[in-house]
Amino acid sequence: MKFLPYILIVLSALPLLARLFLARRARRMEGAAIPFNDPEVKDKLRRHGRVLLYFFSPHCGPCRAMTPIVDRLAARHGNVVKLDVAQAAPIARSLGILGTPSTVLLKDGKVAQVVTGAASEKRLEALLAGD
């Protein structure tokens, strides 16, 4: 019984540690060349110079909240690509995406920035604008 508080502390810290691990792993891709060959993404990258990839899962709560934001951005800009991780698993795997929602900014043929977790419309707009 005297170890119970320590066990509870460790168990409560596990989700935070998992999120930090996922973010660190995904950010290792920043600055690397695009590790996949998708015609839609390559075409948008050629036309716009930067593309925002949005990885989501239909069963993810934060994804369901963030998807309408991404849909609005996609309607305003032509350089947003939504990818369901179940259907685009090879692309997600090649970028080190292990959790949803995640957004990846591609610029000039390289991974410019990776954002894990939900992001605000203002932050995503800034990514697309190059701020």
Q: Which of 74, 23, 30 is nearest to 52 (CA)?
A: 74
Rounded to whole angstroms, how far apart are CA atoms 71 and 81? Answer: 10
Rounded to whole angstroms, how far apart are CA atoms 23 and 115? Answer: 8
Query: Which of the following is catalytic: 45, 63, 95, 124?
Result: 63
Rounded to whole angstroms, how far apart are CA atoms 116 and 62? Answer: 11
Query: Which of the following is catalytic: 22, 23, 57, 60?
Result: 60
Burial 49-62 (b: 16+ CB within 10 A, else e): ebbbbbbbeeebee
**91 to 7, 26, 84, 101: CA distances (angstroms):** 38, 13, 10, 14
Active site residue 63: yes
Active site residue 127: no
Catalytic sites, residue numbers: 60, 63
